[in-house]
Every structure is written in C-alpha cells, then in structure tokens.
Structure 1
C-alpha cells in the first residue's frame, strides 16, 4: 500500500530520532512503570535497544515490548534524554509497529471505526442529556442539525484563540463551561472547536492506522488554525497527539508550524493576576489534588490556582503522580486500581473535604466514589467557579452514582425524546461509556 505524505514524514521523524539515540538507557531508568509493565530486570540499555530494533522492523525483546505497551506517558523519559529526543514519541511509534506486525490493516481499521463510534455516541448522548441548546451552541456542538460557531469574537474578526476541547470532556460538559467562563472573565476572545468533528486522530493511531490518523488529524489541524495567538487545549491526550505527532510532522511536510498549542492550565498562568480579584467568595474546603506529571507544569498550575481561592486549604496526600491522565494507565489495570485505592484511603485519612482532579478522564473515573467516601470529588474549575459565583450542574456524577443503566435512561427520558435519541442507544452508551469506566469498583 502506498504511504501518504504524512506517513512518509512521520517515518522520517522516527528515523531521525533513532539515528540520534545513543541507547544510554536513561529513559528506561527514570520510567515509573517499568515494574508494573513487566520489564523485569532487563538492562535499560537492552530495553531501549529492543525498542530501536522494533522500529527498524525487528521483533525486539520481551522487555522492550512490555515497556512500550505499558507506557503511561508520564514524560519523565523526555527530560532524562541527553540527546534531546522524545522517547515517549518513539514508544508511541513502537506500539504502532507492534500493531502492524500482529494485526492486519482491515482489522485495525475496523477497530478504529468501532472505537471512534463509541466516543462519538458517548459524546452525543451524554452531552445532549445534560445541556441546553444554548450550552451546546456555546461549546460549538450541533444544535437542531447545525454546527454552532462557538465564537466570542466580533463578526468578521479572528478570535484571540481557538479553544480545543477534544472529544471526551463533552461527556462532563460542566468542566468545559467553567473554562469558557474563566476565559470570558479574563477578557480573551475564542472560538470553541472539539467533538468528533474535530478528532485529533489518536483513536486511529492507537490501532496502528497511521493513514487515517494522519488524514483526520491534518483535517482538524487546518481548521484549528483560526486563532490569532494559537490554540488552547483541554484534553491531555489530544495535546500530546497534536504537539508530539501531528504538528511536528506537518512542520516537516510544509516547512512551518501552523500554530502553537498551550494546555488550558498553562494558558491561565499569565492571566492569574487578572483572575485573582474575581475570586471573591470564600470556599472553605480542605482539598487534595489528584496529580499527573505527563504535561509539565499543569499540576503545578493547578496547585497555584487552588491556593488563590480564599478559604481553600491544600493538603498533600504524598501519593505517586504517574501517567499523562487516568486512561493512560489502562494497560496496567491492577497497578491503576492500587493507585486509586491508595489515594482514596489517603484522602479519607487526611480528612479532606474534596478530592479535586484537573482532567475530565479522572473526573469520570473517580466521581462515583463520592457515594462511598467521606469527601466530594470535584474538578478544580468547580472550586474556582464557586469562588467566582458561578455554578454549572454536575449531571454526569449524579447519573453515574445511580449505577443502574435503566434508571439512568429513565431519568433522562425527556431529554432523550427532545433530542430524538433512541433510548436503546442511550442505554448502550451508559453501559459502555459511563458505568464500564470504573477502574476501581465502588465500595470501601
């Protein structure tokens, strides 16, 4: 099959990094998941050497395959590399190679389509039952069959930024609405893009289908280049996909970067002094922050933001911070469950009032535990919003705590009818995209 221009450029970037790699093994040495991933006592130099072998068409070693498939995208390897290459990107390409070596293209493409449909159906159903037409339009989603503009810029003017939600935050849309409220408050204009119509391509990349992934990501990238200052991202998976796979590959193809992408929490940092006077209402809570190190500076920005809120007492639970985001640990289910259990127990022991998360994935995975533990599970922006006098309903949590697909569908019956959504589809979404996403079973 003939490679596309995107695939050729992607392969060229990979081989440039392979050629620059000295096999020193420092990336393996600092990785926090070599143990849980099953790397064993293999020498770090042999593990990275096996990765390079896979990328050059070989089979590598059992340890190198385990390291690649168990990668949680923590990013420690990037900082540790003395050659300034990106081992996290090389491991992503290794997983692509392993998929290509073991699964034929037709099956990989079929899996990609099925996974994309699961996300698309989940976003459509779960956002539709929680939001009004105006809220859907504000988030740039279809209302009465039309795709809303989602822009706060004056007609005919380019917005300061494009706010790229990704797909899955729309399942917990209150988080995205708080982000828009905050951008309104600090005085920037933006256009909202996201959802399946602006897919980042990571779903297809995970199946090893670089052709469809590249085509989807390039299409979305060209539409995102509308902001005067760049793109603000919410989803960490989309951010890594764009900044480490798509944008550098497009730059190699076209000779220039189309835009820079900044995570929302890092976008806020230079605006904190404009936000501070708006945090007028005390929020008397002992708060622990769930942490991920995958995008450097995001957790630290979350800490700084919480410390600005009057009344908040921040508690450090002294728990490991691993991975890019919750679902990046899905390849290590028992390890992930143990991390969740330990953090919930530590939060209870510390007598916190709230366990706060930054990312939407972690919110979906933790929120129903509120039923069984003596503290709330909230998003950081809920706390900020409370201090600003803002409030958005947390419908996802309320529904998930029910833990009964039929009861949830019955609860949403009026909204489903108003949106012309088949209750059978809604039940399937609830089962697969809500209730099944529970790494640590409920109950203490």
Structure 2
C-alpha cells in the first residue's frame, strides 16, 4: 500500500470501515467469546450483538447487549480464531469502546482522563521499581541513561518491557539474563517514556494514542533484524492490532515486527536446551491465558524442556489476555482465581506458575495461605540455568503492612530521594490494593457474585 498523508485517526477509521465491510454478522465471534455468559448476555442473539457493535462503530447507539459485550471483553482472542472472514473482532470491540467514550465525553475531558491514567501509571511504576532496585539495575532495565543512549553497535533485537513488568522487575531481569546466556544481542526499552499508547486509547483520545505509539515505534525500530521482542501482552496487542497496522496504512510499511518473549524463547529452544543443565524436581501447574496466539503453547514447551519438571493440567478455564484484563468482570475473576488455587492445592503441586506480570502481582501473596509456591515461569528456567533474581515484590507484598514495607525499603527510598509518605500511598494502592481475590487471613468474605 503506498504511503498517504492522512492522519493516524483517519487511517484507523479506514481500517475499521474495511473490517466492517468484511463482517458478515454471522455471530460466530460472540458464540466463541468466554465473556458472554458471565457478562449476563447469553440470552441475546449473537447476530444481534455483533450487529450492534457495527451500529456503534457507524455512529449508532447499539443495543444494550452490544455495549455490555464491548465493556466485558477480556481480550481472550477466541473471537479472532472463530472468524472465517479475516476480521479481528477483538480490535472492533476496542474501537467500539472508543466510540462509546467519544459519545460520552468531549475531547478535552477524554484527554484529561488519559493524562491522569498515564501519570498514575508512571508514578506507580517508578515508585515500586525503586523500592526494589538500585540505580545500576534500573539502568540495566532502560530506566536511566540506557533508555536514551544508543549502544555502540546496533543490536540484533530491541527488548521492549512495556511498563508494568517493572513493578515485578525480577521477571524482566531474568529475561535479560536468559538472553545473555544464549547470546542474544539486544537493547532494552520500556517504561512510561516508551508508552504504547493504550492508556490514551482507552478513554478515547485516539490522536494522542497515535502520537505516543508512533513516537515509541520510532525508538523501537533501531535493530539489525527489524524485530522487537515484547514482554507485555497489552503492549503487544496495542502495537500489533492498532498502532503498527495503522502506521502501515499511513506510510506504506511497518517500522518493525513484534514477537512475544514466550514465543521468541520457544523458537530458540535448541539454543536454550544446552543451558538447562540443573534438574528442577517440581510438580507444577501453569496459570494460563490464551489471548496471545501460541503463547500458552510456548510456555508449555518451555516448561517441558526443563529437566525434572512435571507439568500438571488443573483442567481450569483459560481466558483473557492476562489477569489484568479479567478485571472487567470482577466476580468472575475472583471465582476463577479461587477455583484455580483450590485445584492446585487438591492436585498437590509444588508451585503454580505464572507467565505474565499482572497475574504474578495478583496471585503471589496467596503463597502465604496455600501449600504451594507462586513463581514465574522464568524463575524455573533460571533455576535450571543457574540464574537467580530475587522476587522482592512477593517478599514485600506478603508482609501485608505498608509501614513495615516502607521501613524495609528505607535505604532505597533514601538512595532515590523518594518521599516516604507518597511511597507509602503507592504501596497501599498499587501493591496491597492490587488483590482481586482477598487473602484468607483478616480479609473480608469472598463474594463471587455479582460482577462488581
């Protein structure tokens, strides 16, 4: 496609219209969606629900069931796999939410909402990472001069962390350790200074989302291979389904291609296997989210490559892009998490293994109350390779005491010149408050209905 002079928003609108023309309103996407039943719209005709989404995207009101479906999307991706017409219903639902946001608020208010969310994210990521890491390690993760200084030699890949994994930095550090061990040349980029634009898209500020995404895309395009290895699934979906295809429509080409880290590592198992020397004799279950195609399968293959690992299937539902995205149906999310913890206990596993950072944040403190560990998959890979990074986030969160956490981190608070009172506020809200399923001890009763 030849480059054009149209704006990001106009190019995005053209992509939406092209998909709407291709959609046959068959309803297969609705039938496949795991959000429909817990959202309470299972009695509506699937054809009417998708028809209402099309109506919303063409300026109409759409029926209530369609609005509920759009708001309840967990980004599971089942709808994409169900479509025979090459349409991406997950993308259309994101655009329907944008259309609803535009109808409810004028641009200044939408922009203000995006700015506030972006500032909150930046504050939480900055404080929680600095409560765990010194300046040298932050720089390794691209959060100081390394984020703006070009390497002496162009790397083979850019490793894009996204933002929120920096709250649980041991995961990102293990990813770097593993790449170092197998000889991958990379530059790390990420954090709020490399925003994917999703924080602006959600409240409906498409212009700012496109500006932020395009700015970050320019930074990420500096590698020999033209490949970006991504960690964050939200960033991956934002770039591959919204930003990059729209830039391609504007300019005639994409600045890079993006591969999720699990799939990247799975594709290099031949390089990885010789480094998996130490048996890890554990019976484990994998916490699964299917939103990125091939992601669960890659994680399974990686676990099975670790000598000594016995992988147990808990036969629990696997939905959503990552745990964060299930937050649109809170009671359903709590029910799934409680069911999985109970199933893991009944199965007698040694560990429940997370892949992404959001479920690790939400589940890790449950280790205190259940007879198994909560670990990230890269911890097990690292253990077999002789690599280790301390899960300081879990250690702190299990304390369940904001004052004690601040006291434990006093040296790093001083080193980074943080305001202890403001840091405590972040701990209360963004660490201890990030607990969808309450812990057993001293918690309010668990309520599994309704979805609120």
TM-score of the aligned structures, taking structure 2 as reference length: 0.94
Q: Deviations over 1:218-247 (max 9, x none)?
A: 100111001122100000000000000000
Q: Deviations over 1:285-329 (max 9, x none)?
A: 110000000001111111111111111111100000000001111
Structure 1 contact 149–192 (Cα < 8 Å) conserved: no
Equivalence for 2:375:
378
Structure 2 contact 156–185 (Cα < 8 Å) conserved: yes
1:245-256 paired onto structure 2 within 5 Å: 245-256=242-253
User: Structure 1 stretches of 5 or more lacking a match?
Assistant: none
Q: What is the CA–CA distance in structure 2 between the aligned matches of 1:162 and 1:148, rounded to whole Å?
A: 11
1:336-351 paired onto structure 2 within 5 Å: 336-351=333-348
Return 261-270 or 341-350, whichever deviates more.
261-270
Q: Given the alignment of the two structures, is residue 80 of structure 1 paired with residue 77 of structure 2, yes or no?
A: no
Residue 172 of structure 1: how far off its partner (Å): 0.5
User: Structure 2 stretches of 5 or more lacking a match?
Assistant: 442-452
Residue 8 of structure 1: how far off its partner (Å): 0.5
Q: Deviations over 1:37-85 (max 9, x none)?
A: 2223111110000000000000100110011000000001111111101
Structure 1 contact 150–191 (Cα < 8 Å) conserved: no
Q: What is the CA–CA distance in structure 1 between the aligned matches of 2:429 and 2:12, rounded to whole Å?
A: 33
Structure 1 contact 37–70 (Cα < 8 Å) conserved: yes
Q: What is the CA–CA distance in structure 1 between the aligned matches of 2:131 and 2:402, rounded to whole Å?
A: 14
Judging changes above 3 Å, is the alpha-carbon distance between structure 1 residues 150 and 348 closer, same or farther for their aligned structure 2 residues? farther
Structure 2 contact 6–250 (Cα < 8 Å) conserved: no
Q: What is the CA–CA distance in structure 2 between the aligned matches of 1:269 and 1:352, rounded to whole Å?
A: 24
Equivalence for 2:218:
222
Return 363-372 or 409-418, whichever deviates more.
409-418
Equivalence for 1:330:
327
1:25-424 paired onto structure 2 within 5 Å: 25-142=27-144, 146-148=145-147, 155=152, 157-229=153-225, 230-424=227-421
Q: What is the CA–CA distance in structure 1 between the aligned matches of 2:8 and 2:416, rounded to whole Å?
A: 38
Q: Report the secondary structure of 2:390's partner residue.
A: coil
Question: With CA pairs under 8 Å and 6+ residues apart, which has the higher RCO, 1 or 2?
Answer: 2
Structure 1 contact 406–427 (Cα < 8 Å) conserved: yes
Q: How many correspondences in the alignment?
A: 436
Structure 1 contact 100–208 (Cα < 8 Å) conserved: yes
Q: Report the secondary structure of 1:36's partner residue.
A: coil
Q: Deviations over 1:331-383 (max 9, x none)?
A: 10000000000000000000101000000011001000001000000000000
1:2-17 paired onto structure 2 within 5 Å: 5-17=7-19
Residue 409 of structure 1: how far off its partner (Å): 1.1
Q: What is the CA–CA distance in structure 1 between the aligned matches of 2:75 and 2:47, rounded to whole Å?
A: 20
Residue 150 of structure 1: how far off its partner (Å): 8.0
Q: What is the CA–CA distance in structure 2 between the aligned matches of 1:150 and 1:25, rounded to whole Å?
A: 50
Structure 1 contact 140–148 (Cα < 8 Å) conserved: yes
Judging changes above 3 Å, is the alpha-carbon distance between structure 1 residues 440 and 35 closer, same or farther for their aligned structure 2 residues? same
Structure 1 contact 138–148 (Cα < 8 Å) conserved: no
Q: Deviations over 1:60-114 (max 9, x none)?
A: 0011001100000000111111110100000000000111111232222222112
Residue 4 of structure 1: how far off its partner (Å): 7.5
Calculate the aligned-residue CA RMSD, in Å.
1.4
Residue 125 of structure 1: how far off its partner (Å): 1.0
Structure 1 contact 137–150 (Cα < 8 Å) conserved: no
Structure 1 contact 232–263 (Cα < 8 Å) conserved: yes
Q: Report the secondary structure of 1:163's partner residue.
A: strand
Q: Given the alignment of the two structures, is residue 435 of structure 1 paired with residue 432 of structure 2, yes or no?
A: yes
Q: Report the secondary structure of 1:71's partner residue.
A: coil
Residue 149 of structure 1: how far off its partner (Å): 5.7
Structure 2 contact 141–173 (Cα < 8 Å) conserved: yes
